[in-house]
């Protein structure tokens, strides 16, 4: 079975500092990887997916199949980045359902 | 509608009572998912519907939990004989289909408290 691990429950950084959220997964095949974000009092929403190879709100994530990681990075954190971030994986054989990590709460201090 | 709609947004129930949670997916979306978001437990998959196929119930935690989807649209998640550990936010999501390229959209959730 597939599993997603986010080792940090809380990341606290100052505004303008870099932030990196770690995500590791276990799956023997070729999964799709995603980052979802939940801002305060808002619904969970897609931030980015690895197949798009795009930067959203300054965030990027690179899939490293050798290390089975999909870490999320932003060089200069902003206060509006404070939110809960979830790494997720989906596999074709299991429909499109997402398996989520435990989440990392990011707090960007002024 | 504009997005996935869930009701009720908040529900407080007594232990042992049954509850029903409703989900209206985005119009035209054939795939529908239920997840549970508990404090300290992250997001837990419960059940998945895709078109007319048999649902994937592999995430349901016990036989007290069931879900149905009528007419390929609205879904109801039923929890029988609720327990305190059932307290959580129940999230519904939908997407166009089961292709991995389809974005999954979430509702705002139904916050269930069992007292």
Residue of A nearest to B89 (CA): A43
Q: What are the average pLDDT values for consecutive 10-residue runs of chain B, which has 115 residues?
A: 90 97 94 90 90 90 95 93 96 81 89 97
* B48:A95 CB<8 A: yes
Mutate to test the interface with B, among A37, A44, A94 (most CBs of B within 10 A): A44
CA nearest A90: which of A67, A60, A106, A70? A70
Q: B106: which chain A residues are within 8 Å (Cβ-Cβ)?
A: 43-45
For the stretch A41-82, pLDDT in tens is 899 999 998 888 788 899 999 899 899 999 999 999 999 999
Terminal CA-CA length for chain B? 33
What distance in Å separates the CA atoms of residue A53 and residue A60, rounded to the nearest whole number? 8
Residue of A nearest to B97 (CA): A96
In this prediction, residue B65 carries a pLDDT of 98
Grade residue A8 by pLDDT with cuts at 50, 70 and 90: very high
Residue of A nearest to B30 (CA): A96
The b/e string for A50-74 (b: 16+ C-beta within 10 A; e otherwise) is: beeeeeeeebebebeeeebbbbbeb
Please tell me the total number of residues recorded for chain B in this structure.
Answer: 115
Q: B98: which chain A residues are within 8 Å (Cβ-Cβ)?
A: 95-96
In this prediction, residue A55 carries a pLDDT of 84
In this prediction, residue A1 carries a pLDDT of 77
């Amino acid at each position: 079975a597939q599993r997603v691990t986010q080792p940090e429950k809380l990341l606290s950084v100052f505004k303008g500092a870099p932030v990196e959220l770690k995500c590791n997964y276990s799956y023997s095949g070729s999964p799709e990887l995603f980052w979802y974000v939940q801002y305060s009092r808002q619904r969970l929403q897609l931030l980015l997916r690895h197949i798009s190879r795009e930067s959203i709100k300054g965030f990027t994530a690179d899939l490293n199949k050798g290390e089975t990681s999909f870490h999320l990075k932003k060089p200069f954190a902003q206060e509006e980045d404070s939110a809960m971030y979830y790494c997720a994986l989906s596999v074709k054989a299991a429909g499109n359902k997402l398996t989520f990590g435990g989440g990392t709460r990011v707090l960007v201090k002024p | 509608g504009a997005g996935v709609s869930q009701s009720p947004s908040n529900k407080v129930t007594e232990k042992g009572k049954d509850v029903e949670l409703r989900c209206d997916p985005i119009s035209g979306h054939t795939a529908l998912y239920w997840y549970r978001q508990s404090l300290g437990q992250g997001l837990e998959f419960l059940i998945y519907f895709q078109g007319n196929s048999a649902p994937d119930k592999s995430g349901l935690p016990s036989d007290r939990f069931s879900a149905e989807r009528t007419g390929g649209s609205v879904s109801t998640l039923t929890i029988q004989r609720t327990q305190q550990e059932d307290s959580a936010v129940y999230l519904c999501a939908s997407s166009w289909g089961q292709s991995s390229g389809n974005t999954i959209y979430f509702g705002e959730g139904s916050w269930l408290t069992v007292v």
